[in-house]
């Protein structure tokens, strides 16, 4: 099927004429928030993203010098430019079934980038709206950096025990060649997508993985309808009227349930801390899962599990949670994983 990336004027007018007034208002608020920052999602890949050279390097052939569109002068990428594109759902790997009712799967939906959420050493996360005339959903888009957009920094210890079918690919990734770094980005994205899928199916509180396309994952946006992301646990502050210790105790017990689910699947997070846990609707939500550790295959599995437990238990203990005992939690997770 030939995909069109630019809706013609007649189709665009039909969308405008048929749009629900509430959706129009919501989109206007979201786009106003994007304009206020002057930042746009514009990373190389699908779903309406593109890479544009900076003006002073436009003639360069080395695309590693290219930067994100939101850093380019206004005459190259004006903030009011129309970035709508058709959904890439039809050419992507899909998340687990049944697909939640809030996910827009219609192939005539338009993807509209709404701005950056987080930029990291290995991946960038941005906000995107996928919309039909009468319904829409907000998605978090995580794009892993390839050889063209940056260097991947994950410790090789995380991948011990993971099988690489082709020896050429394994050698390239070990040597960190351009080809190997591209492969690594896709491998990390695939690992995170699979972990999210298994944990979602098992009932853990993680973002629903909507689709995987190359080194890009689209997942449930954890936050408010106006595009405000849920706070990270490290910066979460209970309402002034709430008992802080009681709030963090409740969050602790909910998180332990999810960690037991993860351990029951044979996994440890591998990089667990208050920085990669969100707080939403009175629950902890686990994020950032590309480095999940297989507790049986990886020879360092229990060491990573112990580090996870020590990190997160120490955080909750500082918040006054008396149940946050690392030794007790380590034992519970080992039992859940069938290792004792």
Contacts of 194-203 spanning 24+ positions with Cβ under 8 A: 195/267, 195/289, 195/290, 195/292, 196/95, 196/289, 197/95, 197/96, 198/265, 198/267, 199/258, 199/261, 199/262, 199/265, 199/267, 199/286, 199/289, 200/95, 200/96, 201/96, 202/261, 202/264, 202/265, 203/261
Residue 128 has pLDDT above 80, yes or no: yes
pLDDT of residue 165: 47
- Which ranges in the chain belong to alpha helices (H)? 9-18, 21-37, 167-175, 178-202, 244-264, 301-318, 326-336
Average pLDDT over residues 219-247: 95
pLDDT of residue 187: 85
Cα-flanking dihedrals φ and ψ of residue 35, to 5°? -65, -30
Token duo for residue 66: 């290219």
* Cross-strand pairs, 279: 284
Q: Among residues 206, 194, 314, which one has the least CA distance to residue 257? A: 206
67 vs 177, which has greater pLDDT?
Answer: 177
Residue 271 has pLDDT above 70, yes or no: yes
234 vs 164, which has greater pLDDT?
Answer: 234
pLDDT of residue 302: 93
Q: Which residues contact 243 (CB under 8 A, 6 or more apart)?
A: none
pLDDT of residue 99: 97
Token duo for residue 19: 């749009």
pLDDT of residue 55: 37
Minimum mean pLDDT range among 68-82, 146-160, 273-287: 68-82
Confidence band, pLDDT 50/70/90 cuts, at residue 28:
low
Domains along the sequence of the chain with CATH: 9-154+172-220 (3.30.200.20), 233-336 (1.10.510.10)
- Taken as a whole, the chain contains a residue count of 340
pLDDT tens-digit readout, 200-212: 999 999 999 999 9
- CA separation, residue 184 to residues 58, 147, 262, 272 (Å): 28, 9, 24, 21
pLDDT of residue 69: 30
Residue 133 has pLDDT above 80, yes or no: yes
Report CA 67 to chain centroid distance, whole Å.
21
Residue 12 has pLDDT above 90, yes or no: no
Q: Among residues 280, 272, 275, which one has the least CA distance to residue 230? A: 280
Mean pLDDT value across the chain:
76
pLDDT tens-digit readout, 283-325: 999 999 998 999 989 999 999 999 999 999 999 999 999 999 9
Contact between residue 85 and residue 79 where contact means Cβ atoms under 8 Å apart: no
Q: Among residues 79, 104, 109, which one has the least CA distance to residue 3? A: 109
Contact between residue 189 and residue 214 where contact means Cβ atoms under 8 Å apart: yes
């Amino acid at each position: 099927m030939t995909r069109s990336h630019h809706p013609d004027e007649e189709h665009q007018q039909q969308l405008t004429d048929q749009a629900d007034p509430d959706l129009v208002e919501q989109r206007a608020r979201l786009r106003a928030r994007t304009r206020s920052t002057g930042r746009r999602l514009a990373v190389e890949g699908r779903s309406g993203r593109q890479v544009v050279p900076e003006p002073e390097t436009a003639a360069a052939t080395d695309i590693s010098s290219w930067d994100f569109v939101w850093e380019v002068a206004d005459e190259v990428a004006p903030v009011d430019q129309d970035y709508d594109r058709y959904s890439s759902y039809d050419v992507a790997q899909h998340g687990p079934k049944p697909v939640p009712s809030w996910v827009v799967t219609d192939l005539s939906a338009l993807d509209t980038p709404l701005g950056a959420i987080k930029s990291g050493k290995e991946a960038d996360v941005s906000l995107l709206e996928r919309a039909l005339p009468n319904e829409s959903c907000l998605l978090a888009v995580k794009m892993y950096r390839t050889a063209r957009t940056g260097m991947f920094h994950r410790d090789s210890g995380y991948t011990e025990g993971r099988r690489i079918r082709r020896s050429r690919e394994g050698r390239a990734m070990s040597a960190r060649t351009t080809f190997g770094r591209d492969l690594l980005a896709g491998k990390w994205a695939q690992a995170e997508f699979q972990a999210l899928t298994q944990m979602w199916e098992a009932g853990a509180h993680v973002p629903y993985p909507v689709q995987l396309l190359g080194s890009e994952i689209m997942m449930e946006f954890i936050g408010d309808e106006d595009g405000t992301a849920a706070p990270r646990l490290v910066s979460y502050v209970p309402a002034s009227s709430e008992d802080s210790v009681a709030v963090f105790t409740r969050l602790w017990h909910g998180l332990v349930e999810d960690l037991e689910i993860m351990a029951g699947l044979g996994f440890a997070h591998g990089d667990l801390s208050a920085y990669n846990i969100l707080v939403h609707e009175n629950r902890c939500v686990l994020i950032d899962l590309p480095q999940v550790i297989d507790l049986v295959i990886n020879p360092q599995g229990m060491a990573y599990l112990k580090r996870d437990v020590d990190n997160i238990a120490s955080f909750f203990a500082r918040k006054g949670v008396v149940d946050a005992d690392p030794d007790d939690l380590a034992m519970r997770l080992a039992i859940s994983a069938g290792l004792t």
